[in-house]
Structure 1
Amino acid sequence: MSVSVGKWTKYKLILEDENLASHLPVTKLFKEESLWELMDLYSELMIKPSFGHKGKGVIQITSFGEDKFGVQAGLNKITIHGKKPLFKYLRENHCSPKRQYIIQKWISLAKIEDSPIDIRVIVQRKRKSSEWIVTGKLAKIARDGFIITSAAKELVPVEEAIERSSLNSQLIQKILIELDQVSLNTARQLEKYYTKSRLIGLDMGIDQEGKIWIIEANLTPNIAMFNKVEDKSDYETIKSYRKG
């Protein structure tokens, strides 16, 4: 029996590994009760389609207190007063009842100036091999004013991004090692269910304290971004692994 490739399913599968669970932002299916449950715990949330890609349909909800909420989609921001009007607005404009959406705790990502950064990690294995290898890593810097990095203004090596960011540069080696470890462990966990997969793309976050977060796992990641940087060695490695 096939396993769904939706974000909700992959979240639950990764959550089964107790060592990976602490790297996952709290996530629930989008329903009115779960929206208020998480809003009571966290003042900022992300909502995204379970089967979306390239950041399409991702929005941020911020509670300003006294039933006043901010909604940002792309560069568009609006303020809504009241819980019922907010949920009605979300259903009518962003979260169709015909599609599955998830709600996640907002992660305060490390930034370069005012732009959040996240990391694309590619993990692969060769045919008939059980050994997963990190074959590529890139940092994506969000465009000015955007909350997610799918609209990236710059692609840079991870080490350079950390050095330029708000993070403590003394943590670079620790972060790089942990980034690889969490990525490889995530691939091994997903392999149990997606047994034929040999290529997994992970969007990883690093928060202001240097903690690694698993934002999203993709079984059909776009590798083209690795061909857009000056050093194309990762791109060549990824292509080589994909062939063999």
Structure 2
Amino acid sequence: MSRQLASKWRKTAALMKYPVAAVHIPQTKAFNSRNLLYMLQRHGMVFIKPIVGGGGYGVIRVSRSGNIYRYTHMQVNRSFTSFTQMYRSLVRVKARRKYLIQQGIHLATIDGRPVDYRVKVVKTEHGWVFRSLVGRLARPGLCVTNLSKGGTMLSGKKALALSLPHIANRYKRHEMRSLTLNCTHIMESQFPGIGQLGFDYGLDHSGRIWILEVNTRPQ
């Protein structure tokens, strides 16, 4: 049976040890008041995510614009005039589990809806092989793209063509596959026994690839 690893923190920390992967990882910190204020001051927008969990469950988008703080949890949007007010409310609505804070990436969009990518690989007797490279388009009004939250699956080729028409489509898909192979070898060296991986990538408006998450039990 393929080894599974639930902790987003452990998987991120493993990849961060290697420059080939680290340059693609958004800044990540443990969730607390001090770190959240720092990350908002530095990046303007972040996502807080349960360290253990999947399917977009519990993910909250938090942003700062001047002295206004906002968060989006599913389709609920709230605004506050102070960080302290916002943080208290956030603690009440987030899932009762440990969280991390991830630098927010302004993803390329299709009709204003963010799109990201899932690349899945499995290990066979002949080594690691690609199973799929697909795009996931968020449901209108949501900031998460998960299919379980109403997202729409597209071919990777179509998602790239619609969201980043000025980017060389074939080259970008090759770049995602190459990054996937590098990261797969890193993950296998750090966590022997894994047999399948799903890499969630986000591309910003310039086409830069960001590693949003790695799953050892991809759906």
Tell whether the structures are fold-level matches, with TM greater than 0.5: yes
Counterpart CA distance in 2 for 1:16 and 1:193 is 10
The alpha carbon displacement at 1:36 in A equals: 1.2
Q: 1:5 to 1:100 in 2, by over 3 A?
A: same
The alpha carbon displacement at 1:87 in A equals: 1.7
Q: Which moved more, 1:150-159 or 1:10-19?
A: 150-159
CA-atom RMSD in angstroms: 1.6
Q: Which residue of 2 aligns with 1:241?
A: none
Aligned partner (choices 152, 157, 160) of residue 159 of structure 1: 157
The alpha carbon displacement at 1:35 in A equals: 0.7
* TM-score, normalised with respect to structure 2: 0.93
The alpha carbon displacement at 1:180 in A equals: 0.3
Aligned partner (choices 101, 104, 109) of residue 103 of structure 1: 101
* Equivalent residues in 2 for 1:196-207, closer than 5 Å: 196-207=193-204
Counterpart CA distance in 1 for 2:211 and 2:14 is 13
Aligned residue type for 1:28: K
- Would you identify which runs of 4 or more consecutive aligned residues in structure 1 move more than 4 Å? none
In the alignment, does 2:40 pair up with 1:39?
yes
Q: Which residue of 2 aligns with 1:149?
A: 145
Q: Which residue of 1 aligns with 2:93?
A: 93
In the alignment, does 2:191 pair up with 1:194?
yes
SS of the residue corresponding to residue 101 of structure 2 reads strand
The alpha carbon displacement at 1:82 in A equals: 1.1
Output one character per residue of 1:26-70: Cα deviation in whole Å (capped at 9) or x when no partner. Answer: 01010111111111101101001010110000000110212x211
Larger-Rg structure: 1
Aligned residues: 215
Work out which structure has the larger RCO, using CA pairs closer than 8 Å and 6 or more positions apart in sequence: 2
For the Cα contact (< 8 Å) 2:4–2:217, is it kept in 1?
Answer: no
For the Cα contact (< 8 Å) 2:167–2:207, is it kept in 1?
Answer: no
Q: Which moved more, 1:190-199 or 1:46-55?
A: 190-199
SS of the residue corresponding to residue 61 of structure 2 reads strand
* TM-score, normalised with respect to structure 1: 0.84
Aligned partner (choices 108, 112, 122) of residue 124 of structure 1: 122
Q: Which residue of 2 aligns with 1:178?
A: 175
Structure 2 regions of 5+ residues with no counterpart?
none
Counterpart CA distance in 2 for 1:40 and 1:147 is 21
The alpha carbon displacement at 1:156 in A equals: 1.2
Structure 1 regions of 5+ residues with no counterpart?
223-244
In the alignment, does 2:209 pair up with 1:212?
yes
SS of the residue corresponding to residue 198 of structure 2 reads strand
Q: Give percent identity, aligned residues only.
A: 26
The alpha carbon displacement at 1:110 in A equals: 1.0
Counterpart CA distance in 2 for 1:89 and 1:160 is 39
Q: Which residue of 2 aligns with 1:234?
A: none
The alpha carbon displacement at 1:4 in A equals: 5.5
Q: Which residue of 1 aligns with 2:132?
A: 136
Q: Which residue of 1 aligns with 2:73?
A: 73
